[in-house]
Amino acid sequence: MTPPGAQDILRVLPELAWCGAGVLLMLLQPFVKNRQALTFISMLGASAGTLVTFKAAFGEGFGGLVQFDIFSLFFHWLIGLVAFLVILASDSYLERENLDAAEFYALILFATAGMGVLASAQELLTAFIGLEMSSISSYILAGYRRDSIKSSESAVKYFLLGSFATAFFLYGIALVYGATGSTNLRILATADPSSNLVRLGLSLILVGLGFKVAAAPFQVWTPDVYEGAPTPVTALFSAGPKAATFALLLRIFATIHAATDFWFWAFWILAALTMFAGNLGALVQSNIKRLLAYSSIAHAGYILVAMAAITTAKNSDSGLDPGTAYAAVLFYLLTYSLVSVGAFTIVSDLGGQGERYVNTDDFAGLGTRQPFAAAALSVFLLSLLGLPITAGFFGKLYIFTAAIKSKLIWLAILMAVNSIIGAYYYLRVIIVMYMHEYKGNVPADAPTSLSPTTAMVVIVTVLATIYLGLAPNHVLGIVLDPNLILSAR
């Protein structure tokens, strides 16, 4: 293997920028006490990682370990955007909860770098490194509110179960290596499709990644972790790692021929289970963070519907074009990430110190107390529900179209049923905000308005939600680019 050259470095430029910014923040910590300066620096770091993608040339790097193509470019932009928004949203949260800023931001940037690696990994061990980078940072972030029992519980739970899932992933890699003698996805693409060892290895990999995207039956950790983690971190969890892991899932299961023939039913069942687990679980939640956590499971289920559509379309004798299904996954990940970051950001601000006001009942009368926050949260909830002129509607429309194009009528109908179940709990929150009166007096320490930084994040995400709902042409043009479709090449 040749030593890495300048070309190789260019392929991982975004990750280098994010890691570099993280290290810089750690170094600055003893000297810079001003939280806002740290926020500013880390936002610069997050955007630097995104912007250097302009410089990063397409192609393979490090002898095929990473592959920087338009597909990973899309995900780098998405992840960078999420990191940027989450950092901006964390500023007031860290002040309110009196937490150290530098480490927090550094961890977010390290996690982001890990997600970047995941998105451009062309080789299973590289993917494993990316997964670990993002996971370990996430474990620490989940327990960042040390003095809160829930936060610690969240971290421990995430760590234990996450390690377990990672072990599955690693074991799967080992089996695949044993069967084919390689971990490179290019070589795997030509592997014997009927080898049981490859199938077993891939199914273990699917279990490991299924855990990361919170697919049922590996979703049990999600509500507890999402509830306990600091809310900006929850926003990150629900958007960044999920998108990056779906990128890896696409890369593996859309390129490997063995996988596409065999894994259709696996994705079908995963999708159906995940949708129902998420939506039925959310029905009975009174805590808004848990509700959104279950909703995030449900949305992973919707994306898995599109994954099932891809596996059908990639099937060599189906003659179907997987383009719509690809676009559906990418567009949905984008819209869901934006909406989810926005929703959790509002919740983090409305929660008040110590996150005490996170029950849906605490939002009673919000429509009159905080019209802006209530209206914005309604937009997000309606988008999650999939109502027209919001981004979520087009996301859902694309998945429906992909499913029907791939002749997955029953899965489409199951998804329709789930959308209706979802309507109930999303609307319930809106009803509480606008149609219930607050019982008793509103506590004095309840927040009365959004902090400026949160408001900025909320405005950006609301505008993006409506923009993508009204004029999605531009973004659709990007996600429908035929170059995005991964193939064994």
Partner 1 sequence: MELSGHLLSVLIFFPGFGAAALLLLRGDDHLWIRRLTFVVSVVEFVFSLFLLRAVPISAPGYSLVEFGHWISAPPINYHLGVDGISMFLVILTTFLTPICVLASWHGVHHRIKEFHFTLLLLEVGVVGVFLSLDLFLFFLFWEIMLIPMAFLIGIWGHERRLYAAMKFVLYTMAGSILMLVGIIWLYNATGSFDLPVIQQMLHDGVVTLSTRTEMLLFLAFFLAFAIKVPLFPLHTWLPDAHVEAPTAGSVILAGVLLKMGTYGMIRFCLPLFPEASHRAAPYVAVLAIIGIIYGALVAMVQPNLKKLVAYSSVSHLGFVVLGIFAFQNISMQGAVFQMLAHGVSTGALFLLVGMLYERRHTFEIAEYGGLSTPMPRLAAFFLFVVLSSMGLPMLNGFVGEYLILLGTYHVHWKWAAWAATGVILSACYLLWSYQRVFFGEVTHQKNRELPDLDTREKWILATVAVVTLWMGIGSPFFTRRFAVPCQTVLQQMNRSFAREAALPASVPSVAPDSSGRVLASTSMATSSERSGTR
Contact positions toward partner 1, by CB under 8 A? 368, 382, 387-389, 397, 400-401, 404-405, 409, 412-413, 416, 419-420, 423-424, 427-428, 431, 434-436, 472-473, 476-477, 480
187/413 with CB nearer partner 1 = 413
Paired strand residues for 66? 61, 121
- Which residues, in sequence order, are CB contacts of 420 under 8 Å at separation 6+? none
| Placement of tokens 């699917």 in the chain | 206
9/417 with CB nearer partner 1 = 417
27/413 with CB nearer partner 1 = 413
CB of 427 to partner 1, least distance (A): 6
CB of 408 to partner 1, least distance (A): 11
| Region of residue 440 (left: phi > 0; alpha: psi -120 to 50; beta: else) | left
10/397 with CB nearer partner 1 = 397
- Helices H, strands E: what count in the chain? 21, 2
**Nearest residue to 296 via CA among 363, 375, 239:** 239
18/302 with CB nearer partner 1 = 302
CB of 397 to partner 1, least distance (A): 7
To the nearest 10 degrees (0 to 180), the angle between helices 35-51 and 70-97 is 170
CB of 367 to partner 1, least distance (A): 8
CB of 481 to partner 1, least distance (A): 11
82/430 with CB nearer partner 1 = 430
CB of 420 to partner 1, least distance (A): 5
CB of 477 to partner 1, least distance (A): 7
Write the DSSP string, 77-119. HHHHHHHHHHHHHHHHHHHHHT--HHHHHHHHHHHHHHHHHHH
- Three-point CA angle 365, 464, 344, nearest 5°: 45
375/442 with CB nearer partner 1 = 375
Distance CA 367, CA 436 (A): 9
45/472 with CB nearer partner 1 = 472
Query: Are 322 and 260 within 8 A, CB to CB?
Result: no
| Region of residue 181 (left: phi > 0; alpha: psi -120 to 50; beta: else) | left
**Can you list the alpha helix ranges (DSSP code H) found in 351-408?**
366-369, 371-385, 391-405
CB of 401 to partner 1, least distance (A): 5
265/410 with CB nearer partner 1 = 410
Structure-derived torsion over alpha carbons of residues 264, 268, 274, 276, reported in degrees to the nearest 10: 180
